[in-house]
Amino acid sequence: MNAIKKKSINYLVLGFFILTLSSFGAINAFSNDSTAHAAEIHATDSVSPAHSEEVHAPAAEHTEKEGIDAGKLIMEHIGDAHDWHMATIGHTHVTLPLPIIIKDAAGFHIFSSSKFHHGHDAYNGYKLEHGKIVAVNEDGSINESASFFDLSITKNVAAMLISVFVLIWMMLSVASSYKKGKGAAPKGFANLIEMGILFIRDEVAKPSIGPKYMKFMPYLLTIFFFIFLNNLFGLVPFFPGGANVTGNIAVTLVLALFTFVITSINGNKSYWGHIFMPPGVPKALWILLVPIEIIGMLNKPIVLMIRLFANITAGHIIMLGFFSLIFIFGAMSEGLGLGVSVMSVAFTTFMNFLELLVAFLQAYVFTLLSALYFGSAVEEHAHHDEHH
Amino acid sequence: MELVKPGLGLIVWMTITFLIVLFILSKFAWKPILAAIKEREDSINNALNSAEDARKQMDALKADNEKLLNQARAERELMLKEAGEMKDNIIAQAKRSADEEGRKIITKANEAIESAKLNAMNELKTQVAVLSVDLAEKVLRKKMEDRSQQEAFVNENLKSITLN
């Protein structure tokens, strides 16, 4: 009993630790003097060649003080990158170079992103241009015609891999605890996870899908915990969090595609019948209705994709916006920046709590909508005419 | 806009990773966890059902017991009543038979007394007769002691006898 209590307290403390750290992380960033702020901003700007020379020159800081591009800063934070910028201490960037994998006509090229030197150098015929890999000619000019695939392990891929390892480790340890205590009540962490599992099963899968829910449970549980965990990781402002995985449209696209493919594979006669042969309407109207139904069918995954992407990205943008306010005002006057920082930290803390809710809510909504789509795909329409 | 353009690399890695995660979690996490939860729920349901059954059986047993008890009570009541009646009957009968017996005894006694009285009377009659005959004999003997008297008596009697 005591051990359980202790364990649950540990989790609580861990949660608060992460929360407070996320707000303290913000405070720490602002408590430095304004020159350090400037350096921070430059660091994120460093990928752009126009500013790159100034970044490493100490004298440039003062000239840059006014030129804070909050939009650019935010976009770079929520976007993808080929290296993982963790912190800037003085003028040293603490970054984790990530592997670059390029497939072109000559085959695969695999090398570290540190070879690019933050966009300063070309390597192997490629160069970082505004954070994107471009092919360059011998003389350094950009080769627009070259075709290649950039399959690099980017920041988002790396963050996703970390979260996935955590997810698998978590769930396997929970599964093993079930094997150990067969038939016993779950304790500690397994209890917490079981709450989520039962929530998905009883509140999402059963009412949305009906009697065939068991078939979709593994997928629903996987997307729920995958999205939820990545949302939470996104809220942690430093390594291994901070990446905007579930706020990346490629990630949500793949998730939505999975839902779409599973829905289509499991679609029964009546599901497809409703799309290609809408019942209860004259055949002449099919010309009109079938395209609408097809658009509706394709619309579902698109909406799923955009909802998750927009919600998570918006949260990140709002929080980063509050931070940027400090720098913008700090650039005007140091005192104003400090004053604004109080308000910013308060708002960001509030937003963090809100984002915790959103992290759960969006995972839930994605899972619920997927379940509803599966439900419509496997539903048996015994009473056709009553519906129309 | 860069933000809404999905990167090919990320799509590829996401697809691969997600498939692997889906596979591993489905096989090694969700399956055993869901099975364990189901098993536990079933066992809890069974336990609840059997408890309910036991409660119902208990209630039935209790009702049975109550019925039996009531029956026993009614039977006891009946038996007591019957026993009372029987007692009254026996007493009445005993009284009746005692009366009758008494009456019979009295009658018998009366009869015995009557017959004893008769016997005594008869004996007395015989005794009186014997005594009177004896006495008469003695009287006669005394009277007929001399011969003359005897001849006078016979003569007298002979005279009264008419010979035909």
The full set of domain ranges for chain A reads 99-152, 155-387
Q: Which residue of A has its CA nearest to B9?
A: A151
CA A328 to chain B, closest CA, distance in angstroms equals 23
Q: How does pLDDT run across A226-238, given as a tens digit for each residue?
A: 999 999 999 888 7
Residue A25: its pLDDT value, please? 36
- Residue A257 or residue A3, greater confidence: A257
Mean pLDDT of A144-165: 88
Residue B164: its pLDDT value, please? 62
Residues of A in Cβ contact (< 8 Å) with B12:
151
CA A226 to chain B, closest CA, distance in angstroms equals 9
Give the whole-angstrom CA distance, residue A62 versus residue A34. Answer: 10
- pLDDT confidence bin for A381, thresholds 50/70/90: low
Residues of A in Cβ contact (< 8 Å) with B4:
249, 309
The chain-wide mean pLDDT, for chain A, equals 79
Residue A180: its pLDDT value, please? 83
Residue B32 to residue A178, Cβ atoms within 8 A:
yes
Residue B1: its pLDDT value, please? 61
Mean pLDDT of A295-311: 93
Residue A22: its pLDDT value, please? 38
Residue the block writes with tokens 């949260």: A315
Of these ranges, A39-43, A302-306, A318-322, the one predicted with the greatest mean pLDDT is: A302-306
Residue A253: its pLDDT value, please? 95
Residue A78 to residue B40, Cβ atoms within 8 A:
no
Q: How does pLDDT run across A275-286, given as a tens digit for each residue?
A: 888 888 888 888
Sites in chain B below the pLDDT cut of 50: none
Mean pLDDT of A312-327: 89
Residue the block writes with tokens 């990928």: A47
Give the whole-angstrom CA distance, residue A107 versus residue A123. Answer: 15
Of A55-64, A78-87, A290-299, B145-154, the least confident = A55-64
Residue A164 to residue B25, Cβ atoms within 8 A:
no
Give the whole-angstrom CA distance, residue A350 versus residue A23. Answer: 10
Our CA angle for A110, A116, A118, nearest 5°, is: 135
Residue A222 to residue B22, Cβ atoms within 8 A:
yes
Q: Which of A150, A174, A226 sits opposite B21 (nearest CB)?
A: A226
Q: Which of B25, B39, B40 sits opposite A222 (nearest CB)?
A: B25
Evaluate if residue A348 carries a pLDDT over 60: yes
Q: Is B33 on the interface with A (CB under 8 A)?
A: yes
Evaluate if residue A213 carries a pLDDT over 50: yes
Mean pLDDT of A180-190: 79
Of A35-39, A145-149, A301-305, the least confident = A35-39
Suggest the residue from A82, A100, A108, A249 to mutate for an interface test with chain B (most B CBs closer than 10 A).
Answer: A249
Residues of A in Cβ contact (< 8 Å) with B44:
none
Residues of A in Cβ contact (< 8 Å) with B36:
178-179, 182-183
- Residue B66 or residue A67, greater confidence: B66
- pLDDT confidence bin for A19, thresholds 50/70/90: very low
Q: How does pLDDT run across B42-58, given as a tens digit for each residue?
A: 999 999 999 999 999 99
Residue A157 to residue B14, Cβ atoms within 8 A:
yes
Residues 6+ apart with CB under 8 A from B140: none
Residue A121: its pLDDT value, please? 80
Residues of B in Cβ contact (< 8 Å) with A178:
32-33, 36-37
Residue A166: its pLDDT value, please? 94
- Exposed e or buried b for every residue in B104-121, given b needs 16+ CB within 10 A? eeeeeeeeeeeeeeeeee
Residue A12: its pLDDT value, please? 44
Evaluate if residue A54 carries a pLDDT over 80: no
Residues of B in Cβ contact (< 8 Å) with A367:
none
Evaluate if residue A168 carries a pLDDT over 50: yes
Q: Which of B12, B20, B37 sits opposite A197 (nearest CB)?
A: B37
Residue B25 to residue A249, Cβ atoms within 8 A:
no
The chain-wide mean pLDDT, for chain B, equals 90
The predicted complex's ipTM stands at 0.77
Residue the block writes with tokens 């340890």: A173
Evaluate if residue A125 carries a pLDDT over 90: no
Mean pLDDT of A361-367: 95
Residue A330: its pLDDT value, please? 87
**DSSP at A83:** E
A326 within 8 A of A344, measured Cβ to Cβ: yes
Mean pLDDT of A195-216: 93
Q: Is B155 on the interface with A (CB under 8 A)?
A: no
Q: Is B43 on the interface with A (CB under 8 A)?
A: yes
Residue A63: its pLDDT value, please? 38
Mean pLDDT of A353-381: 92
**Pairing between strand A132-135 and A107-112?**
unpaired
Mean pLDDT of A48-71: 45
Give the whole-angstrom CA distance, residue B11 versus residue B5. Answer: 11
- pLDDT confidence bin for A128, thresholds 50/70/90: confident
Q: Is B39 on the interface with A (CB under 8 A)?
A: yes
